[in-house]
Amino acid sequence: MAEMCVGIDLGGTFIKFVATDRQGNASEILALPTPTDGGADGLVEQMAAGARKIIDTAGLSSEQVLGVGVGSPGPLDLKAGIVIASPNISGMVNVPLRDMVSDLLALPVALENDANAAAYGEYIAGAGKDADDLVVLTLGTGVGGGVVIGGEVLHGAHEIGAELGHMILVPDGEPCGCGQRGCVEQYCSAKFMADRTMARMTAEKPPTALRAIFDTKGSIDSKDINEARAGGDAFAAEVWDATARHLAMACVSLTRIFDPDKIVLTGGMAKAGSDLIDPVRAHFADLHWAMTEIKTEVAIADLGSDAGAIGAAGVAWHQFGS
Amino acid sequence: MAEMCVGIDLGGTFIKFVATDRQGNASEILALPTPTDGGADGLVEQMAAGARKIIDTAGLSSEQVLGVGVGSPGPLDLKAGIVIASPNISGMVNVPLRDMVSDLLALPVALENDANAAAYGEYIAGAGKDADDLVVLTLGTGVGGGVVIGGEVLHGAHEIGAELGHMILVPDGEPCGCGQRGCVEQYCSAKFMADRTMARMTAEKPPTALRAIFDTKGSIDSKDINEARAGGDAFAAEVWDATARHLAMACVSLTRIFDPDKIVLTGGMAKAGSDLIDPVRAHFADLHWAMTEIKTEVAIADLGSDAGAIGAAGVAWHQFGS
């Protein structure tokens, strides 16, 4: 009898669902909109409905489902299975999400932080699937982190570890929303690259093709910067390269700390693919120590935005599958 | 029947020996000089002689000794039990240290990097003994690191992890012997604080009581700087505080990454005790994010230079004791 685990990735816009087998082979992903007006009960009902649909579509009886993994934005209390707060999802304050989903589905549920779930997804089925030790950086509005060491997700003593976007990259640097200064997030996220670029366009008035885009759209994003760079815009090229170099610096520190097989970049900015990874690798080689040859590969993620759901299912396998 | 493991800490000047029981209770430490003229064979004979003496003094039969742990400077090949090189100990190039010691003593031997062994010693019997997750920074000539997560020493995929002294603290900062720039080691080690201070005394000619010491001794060290600071010297106070602040910055990053229960400072500079930890804690509180209260304690090590031998015995317990 085939056994499966279900993974649920709770996002601000969509909830994604998947079923995976013991080897990490995944069903098609189901995406349902995240309800915005039913509070926690509405969310949990949508999560249960999607899970049932995934189970039905796969032709599974519920006896064949060993458990369900849920990846959620946080902060979470993992031991208690509670979402303490989740700024982008309404109604998620002190919600015992693990037990609510478990009650509705009559299945055991494991809760994991969404960035960790995505890292675990890349570890079991994506760019890190041949790695023992993996570090994942998610480059989106902020910079999220996930670390897997010998198959175990790094949580920390108080479940607030692997916040790699809040390593201090530049002493006394740009103020960060977290209250620190100079965080990785302020130099390497898509949002902050765009914000910094717009601020420099105002302050320095460089000649750049980005100005026309800004005048039309009222803002620019990291994709605009990369396209202008590809089109020969010197200012855009400088901004893009500075971001790649800051990312490479963070990757050097993470290599010294974790000595992982791989560091995988994911999130919106990683969609640039080789336009991002090529300069990051060049700077990484330049900044890396001379004591040993480079043994850590920096790479783009394989699973993109499906990693969270696949990793959530993997977390369920890890907890209920043995 | 009491069971013990023996720990050996191989240093450039002394080899230290200890026996510990399952709970980490330690015998008196035996220190023998590190032979400088007998090559690897002479070293291994001294290691075996000291181990036998520790076993005799404790009144143990060799049946009561479960195994021996050896902490050695590296780089090492831990899987093969080989010292690849050890710059401060003559004759240690590609030496199969684990098997050589094991053959002489007819006991199983576990090899560990000396910084990791010291971290593990603090974890089982020192300042980290109530911690699940512990980070140790050794502030000496360089800055060494050791990380214990849930009872397991962090090694990395290629056994070159936990090199916390080579995290990049200052982008494009001071060149480091490792080939990188701006490493933690260049801002937080006793040696580099003294070197930087002497360079500034030459370049900036500040009024300072350190000049008389320099003129007498031909150099100054971190202890001189701290004593001048305590005596009211403004330049020394500025240097000392800048070092404490850089250390605190590294501790903030390590807290975001590992979320440990404790970060423990050891090595020569940590002998300054509260003179060091008080300003480090003040800067740590100032630089730490506002997202959560401070949950990681920064503290001075308990075991000082005995941590390596005690931790080496602990490594043997970990490997042979269950």
The position carrying tokens 């965080």 is A183
> Is B286's pLDDT higher than 80?
yes
* pLDDT recorded at residue B140: 87
> Is A200's pLDDT higher than 60?
yes
> What are the tens digits of pLDDT across the range A113-136?
999 999 999 999 999 999 999 999
Q: Which residue of A has its CA nearest to B258?
A: A161
Q: How many domains does chain A have?
A: 2
B157 — contact with chain A (CB < 8 Å)?
yes
Q: Rounded mean pLDDT of B148-168? A: 96
A158 — contact with chain B (CB < 8 Å)?
yes
Q: Which pLDDT band, with edges at 50, 70 and 90, does B162 fall under?
A: very high
A258 — contact with chain B (CB < 8 Å)?
yes
**Minimum distance, in Å, between the CA of residue A142 and any CA atom of chain B:** 15
Rounded CA gap, A307 and A302, in Å?
8
Residue B315 lies inside a defined structural domain of this protein: no
Residue B189 lies inside a defined structural domain of this protein: yes
Q: Do B256 and A179 touch (CB under 8 A)?
A: no
> What are the tens digits of pLDDT across the range B176-220?
999 999 999 999 999 999 999 999 999 999 999 999 999 999 999
The 3-class secondary structure across chain A, one letter per residue, is CCCEEEEEEECCCEEEEEEECCCCCECCCEEEECCCCCHHHHHHHHHHHHHHHHHHHCCCCHHHEEEEEEEECCCEECCCCEEEECCCCCCCEEECHHHHHHHHHCCCEEEEEHHHHHHHHHHHHCCCCCCCEEEEEEECCCEEEEEEECCEECCCCCCCCCCHHHCECCCCCCECCCCCECECHHHHCHHHHHHHHHHHHHHHCCCCCHHHHHHHHCCCCHHHHHHHHHCCCHHHHHHHHHHHHHHHHHHHHHHHHHCCCEEEEECHHHHHCHHHHHHHHHHHHHHCCCCCCCCCEEEECCCHHHHHHHHHHHHHHHHHCC
Q: Which pLDDT band, with edges at 50, 70 and 90, does B20 fall under?
A: very high
> Is B74's pLDDT higher than 90?
no
B166 — contact with chain A (CB < 8 Å)?
yes
Q: Do A167 and B256 touch (CB under 8 A)?
A: yes
* pLDDT recorded at residue A280: 98
Rounded CA gap, B139 and B268, in Å?
6
Q: Which residue of B has its CA nearest to A172?
A: B287
> What are the tens digits of pLDDT across the range A137-150?
999 889 999 999 99
Q: Which of A132, A154, A179 sits opposite B149 (nearest CB)?
A: A154
Q: Which residues of B touch A147 (CB under 8 A)?
A: 257
Alpha carbon of A235 to those of A197, A241, B59, B142, B240: distances in Å?
9, 10, 75, 40, 41
Lowest mean pLDDT among B85-99, B125-139, B216-230, B258-272: B85-99
Query: Do A12 and A48 reside in the same domain of the chain?
Result: yes
Domain boundary among B100, B122, B144: B122
Give me the amino acid identity at A52: R
Q: Which residue of A has its CA nearest to B245?
A: A171
The position carrying tokens 């050589």 is B100
Q: Do B291 and A169 touch (CB under 8 A)?
A: no
* pLDDT recorded at residue A86: 81
Q: What is the mean pLDDT of chain B?
A: 95
Domain boundary among B57, B87, B122: B122
Q: Which residues of B touch A296 (CB under 8 A)?
A: 157
Q: Rounded mean pLDDT of A88-111? A: 94
Give the Cβ contact number of residue A190 at 10 Å: 24
B219-226, long-range: CB < 8 A, 24+ apart = B219/B194, B220/B194, B221/B190, B221/B194, B222/B190, B222/B193, B222/B194, B222/B268, B222/B269, B222/B272, B223/B271, B223/B272, B224/B194, B225/B193, B225/B194, B225/B197, B226/B272, B226/B275, B226/B276
A132 — contact with chain B (CB < 8 Å)?
yes
* pLDDT recorded at residue A111: 98
Query: Do B265 and B134 reside in the same domain of the chain?
Result: yes
A168 — contact with chain B (CB < 8 Å)?
yes
Alpha carbon of B157 to those of A262, B221, B224: distances in Å?
9, 37, 40
Query: Do A297 and A313 reside in the same domain of the chain?
Result: no
> Is A223's pLDDT higher than 70?
yes
* pLDDT recorded at residue A307: 96
> Is B322's pLDDT higher than 80?
no
Q: Rounded mean pLDDT of B309-320? A: 97
Query: Do A189 and A258 reside in the same domain of the chain?
Result: yes
> Is B1's pLDDT higher than 60?
no
Q: Which residues of B touch A170 (CB under 8 A)?
A: 171
* pLDDT recorded at residue B91: 83
Query: Do B153 and B293 reside in the same domain of the chain?
Result: yes
A1 — contact with chain B (CB < 8 Å)?
no
Query: Do B162 and B253 reside in the same domain of the chain?
Result: yes
Q: Which of B160, B178, B252 sits opposite A168 (nearest CB)?
A: B252
Query: Do A135 and A282 reside in the same domain of the chain?
Result: yes
ipTM of the complex: 0.94
Query: Do B91 and B180 reside in the same domain of the chain?
Result: no
Q: Rounded mean pLDDT of A196-205? A: 95
Q: Which pLDDT band, with edges at 50, 70 and 90, does B249 fall under?
A: very high
Query: Do A73 and A111 reside in the same domain of the chain?
Result: yes
Give the CATH number for residue B9.
3.30.420.40
Query: Do B222 and B144 reside in the same domain of the chain?
Result: yes
Rounded CA gap, B197 and B211, in Å?
10
Q: Which pLDDT band, with edges at 50, 70 and 90, does A1 fall under?
A: low
> Is A169's pLDDT higher than 90?
yes
Contact B276, B261 (CB under 8 A): no
> Is A74's pLDDT higher than 70?
yes
Q: Please give the structure tokens belonging to residue A315.
A: 């977390």
Rounded CA gap, B266 and B126, in Å?
11
Query: Do A66 and A179 reside in the same domain of the chain?
Result: no
B167 — contact with chain A (CB < 8 Å)?
yes
Domain boundary among B122, B141, B158: B122
pTM: 0.95
To probe the interface with B, which of A259, A293, A296 has the most B CB atoms within 10 Å?
Answer: A259
What kind and span of H or E run contains B235?
Answer: helix B234-258
* pLDDT recorded at residue B36: 87
To probe the interface with A, which of B176, B259, B298 has the most A CB atoms within 10 Å?
Answer: B259
For residue B50, give its domain range.
4-122
For residue B151, give the 3-state DSSP assignment.
coil
Percentage of residues in chain B with pLDDT exceeding 70? 100
**Minimum distance, in Å, between the CA of residue A119 and any CA atom of chain B:** 15
Query: Do A207 and A177 reside in the same domain of the chain?
Result: yes
Q: Which of B157, B163, B295 sits opposite A133 (nearest CB)?
A: B157
B164 — contact with chain A (CB < 8 Å)?
yes
Question: Residues of B numbered 4-63 whose beta carbons fall under 8 angstroms of chain A's beta carbons: which are they?
Answer: none
> Is A196's pLDDT higher than 80?
yes
Q: Which pLDDT band, with edges at 50, 70 and 90, does A322 fall under?
A: confident
Q: Rounded mean pLDDT of A32-48? A: 93
Q: Please give the structure tokens belonging to residue A96.
A: 């015992």
